[in-house]
Chain A
Amino acid sequence: MAKYLLLKHYRHNGPAPVPGTEVMMDQWTPEEITAHIDYMSRFAGRLTERGEFVSEGALLPEGTFVRYDGEGRPPVTDGPFAETKDLIAGYMIIDVESQERAYEAAAELSAAPGQGGRPLYEWLEVRPFFAELQATAE
């Protein structure tokens, strides 16, 4: 088994969105929002049933940069930056048999319904985790 991080972005530097899917969720109808959320929770349920679900989380849009500023001094913060080019909206970690299966799961997530009940065709970033060192590795 191998772990993969599925990243959902608010906006990103990756490929351009599929035409006709650019409308943000806050412009959908209440029914479209409900249908989307239903799909997402059923998707997590299916992964759990298959023994592939690890964890998931959703993040607030705003973040702040923070760093060390020397002994005894409070941390330095910069931001919040709302206008950065890339923002992570949420993540899901799955533990699957193969990269092929990870892509399949990501595609299923990407097919979540959006406006008019049509699939979102949303680009998701799939990042493999480094594996544990195997006991037989020399």
Chain B
Amino acid sequence: MDDGQVNELMRTLAPRVLGVLVRRGADFATAEDAVQEALIEAVRHWPGNLPDEPKAWLLRVAGRKLIDAQRAEAARRRREERVHDEPASGPTEQSDDTLLLLSRCCHPALSPASAIALTLRAVGGLTTAQIARAFLVPEATMAQRISRAKRTITGERFDAPGDVRAVLHVLYLIFNEGFTGEISLADEAIRLTRQLVAAAARDAVDIADPEVSGLLALMLLHHARRAARYNASGELISLDQQDRSLWDTAMIAEGVDVLQGALAGDRLGPYQAQAAIAALHDDAPTAEETDWTQILEWYDELTRLADSPVVALNRAVAVGQVDGPRAGLAVLADVDPKLARWDAVAAHLYERADDAAQAIRHYTIAADRATSLFERTHLMKQAARLRTQQQ
């Protein structure tokens, strides 16, 4: 095993060990610290000297760390030793704690930022330093965010999994953080969602919600386009301009597979509907061949399932493709113009309606209102392109 594989193994085992400790009754925050300390020991010992049973090793060391931590608190000592003295994990301990852990980390009492940080550490097995770098904040800041999150959920009961929808929302937010630094948060989100899907498959009774697979499909079907989304200068490339030969066909195939499995569950939800839209885009060999009629049908479905201004905005784009840009603009007129991307959609529709002057005007306003530098540059260039064409 090379260092990368050892690291991968540790990250897979960490949440399982944490799950065992928590299920045995250990306090979540203390157990999470103990697992982190055990991982530090593993980093020191495992490369070149991998134990025969890595999970048992990690559990033993984490259990010892837990006892060390608890010794200082005499009042709790007896309970923790009982935890430690329980027999090593047998077959029943292989049952999955992924959802249990995830639902604690994504507890509704936590702010999204806290839930994200805690999830990445306790279930994702990332170090505080890695999470801090991914979010471009100092390590001490991230360490505080995590320990505040742990304090918030201290005392919450740990015996039953919480709301799986809250977990899905946090995973979706992690995915949307993207992949800018050394840690790709999109990849982390996919990894965590895969774990949840696998847990759902093993434990079909509790979390047989097709939205779990729906979210995984949505992530895969978007992530498959990542190589085409930015050019060498790091500029955003819109879907219709992307080099589709760069799309990850294996990931698309997997995403479609996962989506079909979810849709077979016959319990449609917003993630499945969004995944279906992504699948239709991925399925088109060229932008012109996109099946906009079906996409519009899915937007109608999505509107029924989870109406929101953002959905309405995207639906206007689909209407523009199916019934023409003027029809799209008519739909857009009923969408809240305060939305950040409203002017970008208006510009796109005016351009397709051959009204370059209005398109330039809206691209320029959209660039001014853009909330990311990527988008701002992209929109400014759209205005520049039209201006150049006019001359």
Q: Could you tell me which A residues sit within 8 Å of B by CB distance?
A: 25-30, 32-34, 37-38, 41, 58, 60-61
Contact = CB atoms under 8 A, between A and B. Distances in A.
A60 B371 contact: yes
Q: How large is the interface on B (under 10, 10 to 19, 20 to 34, 35 or more residues)?
A: 10 to 19
Contact of A33 (B364, B368, B371, B381): B381
A58 B193 CA distance: 33
Contact of A61 (B233, B368, B377, B387): B368
A34 B388 CA distance: 15
A32 to B, nearest CB: 8
A60 B372 CA distance: 9
Contact of A30 (B364, B368, B373, B385): B385
A58 B373 contact: yes
Nearest to A61: B368
B380 A26 contact: yes
B357 to A, nearest CB: 15
Nearest to A33: B381
Interface of B is mostly: helix
B234 A37 contact: yes
B233 A30 contact: no
A37 B384 contact: no
Interface in B344-371: 364, 367-368, 371
A29 B388 CA distance: 7
Q: Which of B233, B234, B235 has the most CB atoms of chain A within a 10 A radius of its CB?
A: B233
Contacts of B233: 34, 37-38, 41
B383 interface: yes
Contacts of B368: 61
- Across the A-B interface, the 5 shortest Cβ-Cβ residue pairs: A30-B381, A38-B233, A30-B384, A30-B385, A58-B373
Nearest to A82: B368
Given A60-B371, A61-B368, A37 B387 contact: no
